[in-house]
Amino acid sequence: MIRKWAMLWCCVLSLNGCFLAPAIDSFKKLGVTSSDREALFPEHMKRFNEALYWGYPQEALKYVVAESRAQVSEQLKDTGESERTVETKIRSVDFAKDSYEAKVEVDVRYFKVPVYVVNTRHEKQDWVFSTSDGWKLKNREVVKAS
């Protein structure tokens, strides 16, 4: 009887994969190791940029640290009504040694309403990681606009 149960248990485990997979995945999403933090970064940045692309500044502010929210909100308010993002391209991402901070260079293609001529600007962004909130934008600076 015990042998049948052991065989059944082995079959269940082999068909369902590793029973520890959900726990391992949750552990990685916490960003405990530097490689986990680096792997989590693209998704957070993507969500921030998608919110800007679709014209949802309040959604984008969810990815901004509390201390910088007023400053970034003001930037978004200035451009939000009259500007639409066409494309965001990441030029480089430099993680700090412990991967709790990232310096990002981004090219943003946009147009002003109602002109509809696409321009490009170069931005430098500083991102920080916390285990409770994930990656958040700390600073956003326009370096060069064409």
pLDDT at 30: 58
Q: In what order do the strands lie in the sheet with 101-112?
A: 83-95, 101-112, 118-130, 134-145
> Following CA atoms 131, 135, 141, 145 in sequence, which dihedral angle do they give, to the nearest 10 degrees?
170
DSSP state of 64: B
| Residue 23 pLDDT > 80 | no
Q: What is the pTM of this model?
A: 0.79
pLDDT at 34: 86
- The rounded percent of the chain whose pLDDT value lies above 90 is 58
DSSP state of 31: T
| Residue 26 pLDDT > 60 | no
- The rounded percent of the chain whose pLDDT value lies above 70 is 78
Which band of pLDDT confidence, cut at 50, 70 and 90, is reported for residue 22?
Answer: low
| Residue 14 pLDDT > 50 | yes
The full set of domains in the chain, from first to last, is 19-145 (3.10.450.50)
Which band of pLDDT confidence, cut at 50, 70 and 90, is reported for residue 12?
Answer: low
What tokens were used for 42? 């693209």
Question: In the predicted model, what is the mean pLDDT of the chain?
Answer: 85
31: left (phi over 0), alpha (psi -120 to 50) or beta: left
Three-state secondary structure call for residue 70: helix
| Residue 132 pLDDT > 80 | yes
- The larger pLDDT score, comparing residue 69 to residue 5, is at 69
